[in-house]
Amino acid sequence: MSALDQLVKEFGRLPGIGPRTATRLVYHLLRGSREEARRLAGAIEALADRVHPCVLCGTFAEAEVCAICRDPSRDRSVVCIVEGAFEVQSIETTGRYRGLYHVLGGRLSPLDGVGPEALNVAPLVERVRVEPEGIEEVILATSPSVEGEATAVYLEGVLRPLGVRVTRLARGIPVGSDLEYVDGSTLAEALAGRREVHGAQGGGGREGIGEDLDF
Amino acid sequence: MSALDQLVKEFGRLPGIGPRTATRLVYHLLRGSREEARRLAGAIEALADRVHPCVLCGTFAEAEVCAICRDPSRDRSVVCIVEGAFEVQSIETTGRYRGLYHVLGGRLSPLDGVGPEALNVAPLVERVRVEPEGIEEVILATSPSVEGEATAVYLEGVLRPLGVRVTRLARGIPVGSDLEYVDGSTLAEALAGRREVHGAQGGGGREGIGEDLDF
Q: How confident is the model at residue B184 (pLDDT cuts 50, 70, 90)?
A: confident
Q: How far is CA A3 from CA A14, B22, B63, B86, in A?
A: 17, 23, 11, 15
pLDDT digits 0-9 by tens, B50-107: 999 999 999 999 999 999 999 999 999 999 999 999 999 999 989 999 999 999 999 9
Threshold 0.80, pTM exceeds: no
Collapse the DSSP code of A79 into the 3-class scheme (helix H, G, I; strand E, B; otherwise coil) and give the result. Answer: strand
Collapse the DSSP code of A116 into the 3-class scheme (helix H, G, I; strand E, B; otherwise coil) and give the result. Answer: helix
Confidence check: pLDDT of B214 > 60:
no
User: Is the CB of residue B13 less than 8 Å away from at least one CB of chain A?
Assistant: yes
Q: How many CB atoms lie within 10 A of CB B91?
A: 18
Mean pLDDT of B137-166: 93
| Residue B186 confidence (pLDDT) | 87
ipTM: 0.78
Q: Give B41→chain A minimum CA distance, Å.
A: 4
Lowest-pLDDT choice from A55-59, A137-141, B107-111, B151-155: B107-111
Q: Give B201→chain A minimum CA distance, Å.
A: 32
Collapse the DSSP code of B94 into the 3-class scheme (helix H, G, I; strand E, B; otherwise coil) and give the result. Answer: helix
| Residue B209 confidence (pLDDT) | 46
* Closest alpha carbon to A58 in A1, A104, A15: A104
For residue B174, the one-letter residue type is P
pLDDT digits 0-9 by tens, A40-57: 999 999 999 999 999 999
For residue B46, the one-letter residue type is A
Mark yes or no for CB contact B41/A39 under 8 Å: no
Strand partners, B82: B103
Query: Which residues in chain A are contacts of B14 at CB distance < 8 A?
Result: 25, 28-29, 40
User: Is the CB of residue B43 less than 8 Å away from at least one CB of chain A?
Assistant: yes
Mark yes or no for CB contact A3/B51 under 8 Å: yes
Collapse the DSSP code of B37 into the 3-class scheme (helix H, G, I; strand E, B; otherwise coil) and give the result. Answer: helix
Query: Which residues in chain A are contacts of B45 at CB distance < 8 A?
Result: 37-38, 41
In whole angstroms, give the CA distance from residue B192 to residue B198: 18
Q: Which residues are within 8 A (CB) of B124 and not within 5 positions of it... i.e. 6 or more apart?
A: B79, B81, B102, B104, B155, B159
Q: Is the dihedral of CA B186, B191, B192, B197 positive or negative?
A: positive
